[in-house]
Amino acid sequence: MSIKKAEAIAVSLPFDIGGPKPTFAGIPRRMEILFIRLENHQGLVGWGEAFGLSIWPATLQAFEHLVAPLVIDQDESDISGLMERLTRQLHILGRSGAVTYALSGLDIALWDMAGKKANQSIGEMLGGPKHTQLPAYASLMRYGCEQLVKDNSMRALNQGFKGIKLHETQVGLVHAARSVLGPHVPLMMDVNCPWSIEESLRAAEELCSAELYWLEEPIWPPEDFEALQQVRTQSGIRIAAGENNISVLHFEQMLKAQSVDFIQPSVTKIGGISAFLKVMALSDQHQVPLMPHSPYFGPGFLASLHLASLLEEEVMIEYSFADLGANPMGSAVLLDQGFLKIPQGPGLGQDPELDILREFRVRPQG
Ligand SMILES: [Mg+2]
């Protein structure tokens, strides 16, 4: 059996976050999801997701021009062999970024096909899920405004979310959220790599009374694991990071340096399910808990749920706090009283709604 067709399908969806939308180059963002669709000669279809958001045109091009030609007529059941060959063959064109994101989407789609053929969910194929559902935390986008941070933190709590993560860089906004949430709701702060060691330590001191569950990615550049380790040991605040690690080796280095309290691999960035499983093994070996980076709404989110369900300890699932104008994955990605059900069907457990893909499909301009 071999692959007959490999395509990348970008959809661009309107969304609402209860405040002004984030912008890119001054233009309000939309929610872009990059679906990967594989079909074999028997007509079996597998779905994946490659990291999209604002980089989707580059990832789409990488998939169409580099990855797709190399997978046609290849045996889809040899996932590790195919991924190893392509990763080596394409390494000179990028060990990170669009190429690796495209390969991540490919890997997820291959696992979806494998599960469908075996009539098992991905979780079942990998030893069986340990949980039927997992708690979700709301990952709020950046508002930069005290009232909006307070309002949306409470809106998320009232929707049932079990924790709140802010993407604010001002310490005062974290205290504002804590003041309305009360002392017991897990509250996280994700600053996306802006600070030096000194700036991180200063912020950590000011954050002390906010009782953060974790501080995410304080250090620039993200791969400075020694700096991260210094912030961790000197601040006493738990540190989470890993979404910007470009390889499994990076996770190994991060863990050896004792830089973090939580590792956060991203299945649509790191190389798909195959690479994520290797990071899971490292998490186990180093006894550092894993919290998936998963602010997606496509097959990558379902892959994250299956992978997280394999962990003995119950982990919180990152859920992007945004109401979409249309939801391609239907009820599979919807919250139920603060929990997400682990999908039950073969493969990822749910195919996208083709009508929605057709209606919101986009192509790169130019
Ligand atoms: Mg983050």
For residue 25, the CA-to-ligand 1 centroid distance in Å is 20
pLDDT by residue for the chain (366 residues), tens only, comes to 899 999 999 999 999 999 998 888 888 888 999 999 999 999 999 999 999 888 999 999 999 999 999 999 999 999 999 999 999 999 999 899 999 999 999 999 999 999 999 999 999 999 999 999 999 999 999 999 999 999 999 999 999 999 999 999 999 999 999 999 999 999 999 999 999 999 999 999 999 999 999 999 999 999 999 999 999 999 999 999 999 999 999 999 999 999 999 999 999 999 999 999 999 999 999 999 999 999 999 999 999 999 999 999 999 999 999 999 899 999 888 899 999 999 999 999 999 999 999 999 998 886
For residue 244, the CA-to-ligand 1 centroid distance in Å is 9
For residue 243, the CA-to-ligand 1 centroid distance in Å is 7
Bridge partners of residue 40, in order along the sequence: 3
For residue 328, the CA-to-ligand 1 centroid distance in Å is 23
Ion ligand 1 residues within 5 Å by Cβ: 190
pTM score of the predicted model: 0.97
Listed in sequence order, the residues at least 6 apart from 15 whose beta carbon sits closer than 8 Å to its beta carbon are 21, 30, 31, 322, 323, 324, 325
pLDDT by residue (tens digit) across 163-213? 999 999 999 999 999 999 999 999 999 999 999 999 999 999 999 999 999
Can you give the pLDDT at residue 363? 87
Can you give the pLDDT at residue 366? 66
Closest listed residue to residue 267, CA positions, set 80, 50, 93, 91: 50
Return d(Cα 275, Cα 226) in angstroms, integer.
Answer: 24
For residue 201, the CA-to-ligand 1 centroid distance in Å is 19
Domains and CATH numbers, the chain: 3-119+353-362 (3.30.390.10), 124-341 (3.20.20.120)
For residue 128, the CA-to-ligand 1 centroid distance in Å is 28
For residue 291, the CA-to-ligand 1 centroid distance in Å is 11
Closest listed residue to residue 138, CA positions, set 205, 92, 96, 187: 187
For residue 332, the CA-to-ligand 1 centroid distance in Å is 23
For residue 2, the CA-to-ligand 1 centroid distance in Å is 37
For residue 266, the CA-to-ligand 1 centroid distance in Å is 10
